[in-house]
A and B are shown apart, each in its own frame.
Chain A
Amino acid sequence: MSVINYSSREITFKIVYYGTGLGGKTTNLKQIYNKVKPEQKGKMISLATEMDRTLFFDFLPMDIGSVKGFKTKFQLYTVPGQIYYNASRKLILKGVDGIVFVADSQIERFEDNIESVENLIENLEEHSLDINEIPLVLQYNKRDLPNISSVSEMDEAINPWDTAYVEAVAIQGIGVFETLKTVSKKVLQSL
């Protein structure tokens, strides 16, 4: 749900990074945080465990500047990927305007990706949201690792909507901005 304030002339969108545990969601946000100019970002908040695993969410507010007189802002959230944090994951999806699904390309995580997509669909349904109606981008992450599924295998397994995907090595920043740009444009198109 975007919030449009015609008085202060601001528009804000919420983008959620979803996906399996240790897939690279937080890494995406950290890369964005490190590379965006200070005036275009707020403080990054991570509600994480002592082991640096996301407990509730990471949050990064971004300000893309004034567009036709409207201050345009994107708020980026990640969800905790681990299966037993589903209650938290569901909460973060509230009012979402766009979703990035970060898939782990490693062969041993193939089934986890499928499970996580199914979990996303279910959790959206609980908010009465249909995945077909939400701007969605898939990020096939960890493409630098040796033991990975092919893009076509991943597409077949987790992209029945034939939506845009980006190949990425988030830890090196590869594909991170392209993913964010793609989802942001989709969100704007759906406005």
Chain B
Amino acid sequence: MSYENLSIFEQDFWEINNSLNKLLTATNASALMLIDKAGQMITSVGNTDSIDLLSFSSLSAADYAATSQLASLLGEEEFKEIFHQGKKENIYITVILSRIILVVIFSRKTNLGLMRVKLKSTVKELEDIFDQIFKKLSSGRKQQKESFNDDFKRAAESELDDLFD
């Protein structure tokens, strides 16, 4: 399969969050979210209390996927950035290593030009982190197997039975 599981370990997770928090502070954005292309959220920082994160992740990934298809219809490989402008809130979407989507939610308090400049270095940082994660994943399938052994599967199946009864 070309699409392997994405596993994120403690240290990488904190590095990712540090990088996102730096961007959040530097740009005064409301919130940042990292989402995998299948629509599953990896992490978020900032003020997300009023946002339904699961819905937001799934729709952002769909938005990005649909826009990428529009790009390919025009002969472009992808549109690297998507910008949605609202009256109060705006969304800026970019992609990390063609696999992870970074969504910035921001209001008038954020300067768009400044944000795009700062975003570039964050994207570079995140690319380095995810590059390491993907390398680890391709060499570390065994470790994952051990964490999710038969005990886990049995316990999960029992939860499933309870859920549907």
**When the two chains form their complex, are residues A42 and B55 in contact, meaning their CB atoms are under 8 A apart?**
yes
Knowing that A1-B36, A3-B36, A14-B39 are A-B contacts, what are 6 other residue pairs whose CB atoms are under 8 Å apart, sorted by A's residue number?
Answer: A3-B5, A7-B8, A14-B40, A127-B2, A127-B3, A188-B153
Q: When the two chains form their complex, are residues A94 and B8 in contact, meaning their CB atoms are under 8 A apart?
A: no
- Tell whether A8 is near chain B: CB-to-CB under 8 Å: yes
Residue numbers in A under 8 Å from B49 (CB-CB) = none
Chain A contacts to B: CB under 8 angstroms: 1-8, 11-12, 14, 36, 40, 42-43, 45, 47, 56-57, 59, 61, 64-65, 67-68, 70, 72, 75, 77, 87-88, 91-92, 94-96, 127-130, 133, 177-178, 180-181, 184-185, 188-189, 191
Q: Is the CB of A4 within 8 A of B5?
A: yes
| Closest partner residue, chain A, to B9 (CB atom) | A6
Provide the bound-state CA to CA distance between A123 and B99, in Å. Answer: 19
Main secondary structure of the interface of A (DSSP, over half): mixed
Bound-state CA distance A27–B66 (Å) is: 24
| Shortest CB distance B4–A (Å) | 7
Q: Which residue of B lies closest to A124 (CB)?
A: B1
Given contacts A56-B66, A133-B1, contact A94 B52 (CB under 8 A): no
Contacts of B54 in A (CB 8 A): 42-43, 61, 75
B69 in contact (CB, < 8 A): yes
Question: In whole angstroms, what is the CA distance A126 to B104 when docked?
Answer: 30
Nearest-neighbour CB distance to chain B for A48, whole angstroms, equals: 13
Contacts of A180 in B (CB 8 A): 164
Query: B38 an interface residue at 8 Å Cβ cutoff?
Result: yes
Q: Evaluate contact between A56 and B62: CB separation under 8 angstroms.
A: yes
By a CB distance below 8 angstroms, the chain B residues around A189 are 153
Cα(A22)–Cα(B13), bound, Å: 42
